[in-house]
Structure formats: structure tokens, C-alpha cells
Amino acid sequence: MFKKYIIILFSAVIILTTIPQRIEATSCGSANIRWAPSSNRVYVKGDVECTLTEIKQFGSGLIPLTLLDQTNKIWFLGANLFLQEGAKLILHGSPAGGDVDELRLKSNNLNSNNFVKISADWGTIDIDSTKITSWDENVSGPDTEYGQYKRAYIQVRSRLDTDGVTPHESRMDIKNSDVSYLGYNGAEAYGLSWKVLGGVFDGVGVFGDVVNNKIHNNYFGVYTYGAEAMTFVDNEVYENIKYGLDTHDDSDYLTIDGNNVHNNGSHGIICSQRCNNLTITNNTSSNNGGNGIMLHRNTNDSLIENNILYDNTDSGIAIFDSYRNTLKNNDAKRNKNGVRLSVGSSNNIIEDNNFSENSKYGMYFYKGRDLPTSGDGRIKSNTFKNNTINANVSVAIKIQQADSNIFEGNEFIGNTSYVAEIQDSNDNAFEKNTLIGNTFNYYYAKSNTANTIQNSNSFATKIGDTLSSMTITNSENAVYQNSKNIATVVYPFNSEIILNRSNAGSSVVSFNQLNFSATPTDESLVIKPIIWNIDGDFSKKWTAINGLSSSVTVTHIVGNLTPIVSYDVIVDGTLWNSFVANDSGEIIFDYTDIFQNTKTFEVKISL
């Protein structure tokens, strides 16, 4: 076995594909099969393909391999079966033209280690259209005990040759089959296992396609370690003792699509330890004892899209110490949390998802106690855009130890606590979010936080302590009206209000962005709206001051007026000028003066 790299050119797109190549296999024969009764092992070696019928025919008559039911093609394997030196085992059922519709693997519970395994170590296992299960001869049924006496399992392993250069790679394909009651809590013994030995992931891969199967009641549904470009498509993975799909260390470029993963003891789908460039799409993960989908310990640069995640004990999606992933169009409902980020997870994009109706938080961020693989463990530089976070039982967004994240265009409706509870978190930006009908319909900042609400129309916030603040800012120099009558400071490139305990007190402060901007050519100006009528006579009134003795020009845009109607601008009680409102109901004018003392501006319909 060796790797061959093929470059394929389609429409100026170059695709680099890693394909394990093999010479056409020879027919199975007695020279390829060795029976070792002392260790209860059958060895199939060499570049050969063998079926159970051929192993029975060409191997020793003492091999405990029995065709129990010729009509229904039910086999029993009572020995360990090892595939080596490129050998391939064909386990095909009748629909695939094969000889085994059911394979029972010995797995008795009278004493320890009274079970068998099938192992390919530089070999291939090809399973199609069949049923495979452990078999306890004492109860004439599957082995349901996996602790004290352990249980039968299937594994494939890849490694480097002793020359340190040549890869000896294995593959297991499982299609259209039912695989159940395999595995226990032991290395590579979890049920169905693919593993690269020796940590040589850059030079060696382990491969396979797992398509359209029922995989259930194993210890793990599926386990990989060092897998390369495997596919898991259209499987039902359920009622496994621990994980459903567990892709582990350096399993890269996997496709996990269209699977129904449910009622597993821990996480439904977990990808852990340096698993990169994964595509996890169109899956349903529900009623699992952990998270629906978990990205763990440097599972990076992956796409998680169009998944449905509900009724999981923990979060719909959990991102733990993982980076640069995209979560898009996922629906996470009735979990503990919709999505959870912890242990330094950063630079992820979370957009167009639905995190609603969860029993605790819609979105939850915290540092956690585990050490990150790099950095300080704070949640940083993630973007949350256009998500729906509705009707969660507690806080819509719980933010702890999280910095420089962006929350833009999200919808928060009907959550049974705060819109956002922000603690020990800084430089986060909240922009153009919709806040409607939440029990506490505001951003709550406390425990030494300093964050920003920017370019937003209508919102409210509360400052919980003297060490916290919230900066209200607008890139188009809009002026804000608020329930505390706090002035807006305008600069040449933005406007802002710094809200703290001193000017806000302990009450909730509501803000409304006015259709009014003021932009000075330099320095700053303090604007305080007094009257802003948007109907009736449409009159406006505000004050302006900067305390400086130098002159400044200020560009004003005053809206909420009747189009094509003339309005007077009155400064300190004296008519200064008149303007006709444009088609958008705005007047635009520059005013130059010294604002060392307070000036009062009024806009009224011209008489």
C-alpha cells in the first residue's frame, strides 16, 4: 500500500486528492490463511481478497467459523480474525451479491476476555448490506454487558513500516448495514475503530466510507484517530453507551452529512484534538446525554451548517478551545444551551442560526477551568450575526471572560431574563440587534466590564457596578435621546455616550437613536436633545456646547420633518436661516460659531 497524489484540473480549479492505491488483489487461497489455535487467531495475509466462505473453504477445518443458517446466510465467528500485508475481508450480504447476511461475533460472559475481534493492520474490511453483532452463546443473543467481561469489536489500523518511510495503511468501508452491540471502554476497542498508530499523521492515514447504516448499542458508535477524508453519510447512530460519532486526534477533511444521531449516552457528534477542515452538515443530533455537536481542542477551520440539534442534555453546539470555524443555519432548540463557547475559542463565525427555546441560555460564553492549548482562555474575536435567540428560559446571551466579540443583527425576543448578562468581559460590540419582549429587555453590564453598543436604533442597558461601563456610539454621528437625559458627544467621525454608574445610577436606561446627526470639523461638541416631535408641528430643540473659545463648523442633518416644507432654524431665540426639507424629510446645514457657552437650537415650520 502507498499514497499517490493526483492533481485534477477542472475549470481552472486544482484539487489535490490523496488516494490509497493497490494492485488488483489475487484470489483467496490456503497459502494466505493461517490458523493459530494457541492464540485462537486466524491470519489472512497478502494482497488477497477473502470472503467467509473462502476462509472456511481454504483455512483449517479447526477454525471456529460456522455457517449456522445456510438459507439465511447467518455466520458465527469464534476466533480472532487478523488481516495483514494488504489482505481484504469481504463481508457482503445478499443485496450486494455476498455470502453473509448476518455475522455473529463470539462475546461470552462466563469469564473475562471470552470474546473475539476482527482487526485489519495493513488491510481492508469491506462491509455492505449485512448485519454484524456480538453474540453471547449463553443467552443466544447480542452481548449487552460491556464492563466486567468486555465485548467483541472491529478495528482497522495504519502505521509506518519499520523503515520509517513506507506507509502501511488500512481501510474499513461500511454501507447499508446494521452494526450493533460491539465494544467496551478500551483503546481501539470501542466498537468500530479506525486508528493511525505512532502519531505519524502527516505520512499515514486511515480511511473509509460509512454510508446508510444503523449503528447502535456499541460502546462508541464510531471512533477514528488519524482518519483522512472519511465520509459518514446518511447513517442512523443511536443508543450507543457513550458517543455517537467520535472523530478524534488529527482526523481531518472528514464529511459528516445527513446522519440521524440520537439517544447516545454522551455527545452525539464530537470532533476532538486537532481535527481540521471538517464538513458537518445536514445532521440531526437529538436526545443525547451531552452536546449535540462538540468541537473540542483545536478542531479548527470547519463548517457546521444546516444541522438540527434538539433535546440534548448539554448544548446544541459546543465549541471548546477551537478556532476559525463557521456555524451557519443550524437550529438548536430545547437543549440546555443553544451554543456554548469556552476555553479560549476564538475567531469563529456564528451566523443565521436559531438558538431558541433552550432550558438555560441561548448563547453561553465562559473561560472555564481547563487550560487552553494556547492563549489565556478568554473567548475572543468571534462574530455572531443574524442569529435568532428567542424564548430561552434564562438569559439570551450569558457572557463571561469574553473580549472583542461582535454581536450584530441578532434577534432577541421573549427570553425569560436579560437580553445579555455581561461579566468580566471587555471590548465586545453590540450592533443593530432587535430586543423585543424579553423579561429584562436590556443589556446588563456588571463585574468590571467595558463594552460598546454601536449603530443601534432602540435599546436599553443597565450598569451593575461602579467598575463597569457601556459606550453608546454611532459611526454616522447620530444623537441619542435617553431616559436619563444624558448628552451625546459628537466628534468628526462618530458620536458617543459613555454610560457608567455615575450618570446612569442603578436604573435601566433606555435609548432611542434620533434622525439627527451633528458632525464638527474638529474637536467635539456636546449635544442634548430637549424636544423631538415626530408628528404634529414636527418641532425640534437641542442644546450644544464644547467650552472652547475657538470657532467650529458643525454639519447638521435634522430629520423627521415633512418633505418639501420650509423650516426655520432658530439659534438662541433668533432666526438664523430657513431651509426646505428634502424628499426624505431632512434639512441639512452647516453652522459655524464659538460654542464656549451653551447654544440652543430650534427647528420650526416657517411662518
Domain boundaries, the chain: 394-514, 521-605
Cβ contacts of residue 363 below 8 Å, gap of 6+?
Answer: 337, 338, 339, 340, 341, 350, 355, 384, 387, 389, 396, 397, 398
Q: How far apart are CA 75 and CA 96, in angstroms?
A: 17
Report percent pLDDT > 70 for the chain: 96
Q: 3-class DSSP state for residue 81?
A: strand
Low-confidence ranges of the chain (pLDDT < 70): 1-24
For residue 537, the model assigns a pLDDT of: 95
Name the CATH topology of 521-605: Immunoglobulin-like (2.60.40)
Q: Which amino acid is at 57?
A: Q
**Grid cell at residue 128:** 455492505
For residue 23, the model assigns a pLDDT of: 52
Are 256 and 245 in contact by the 8 Å Cβ rule? The answer is yes
Q: Is the dihedral of CA 406, 408, 410, 413 positive or negative?
A: positive
For residue 24, the model assigns a pLDDT of: 67
Beta bridge partners of 390: 413
Q: How far apart are CA 151 and CA 105, in angstroms?
A: 9
Q: Which amino acid is at 237?
A: V
Question: Average pLDDT over the chain, rounded to whole?
Answer: 96
Q: What is the pLDDT of residues 79-129, one digit of tens each?
A: 999 999 999 999 999 999 999 999 999 999 988 889 999 999 999 999 999
Q: What is the pLDDT of residues 335-347, one digit of tens each?
A: 999 999 999 999 9
Q: How far apart are CA 120 and CA 123, in angstroms?
A: 5
- The pair phi, psi for residue 408, each rounded to 5°, is -130, 130
DSSP state of 183: -
Q: Which amino acid is at 561?
A: L
Q: Is the dihedral of CA 374, 379, 380, 386 positive or negative?
A: positive
Conformation bin of residue 503: beta by default, left when phi > 0, alpha when psi is -120 to 50: alpha
Q: How far apart are CA 409 and CA 430, in angstroms?
A: 9
For residue 3, the model assigns a pLDDT of: 39
User: For 87-155, what is the HEC assignment?
Assistant: EEEEEECHHHCCCCCEEEEEECCCCCCCECEEEEEEEEEEEECCEEEEEECCCCECCCCCCCCCCCEEE
**Secondary structure element (H or E) that encloses residue 55, with its range:** helix 52-58
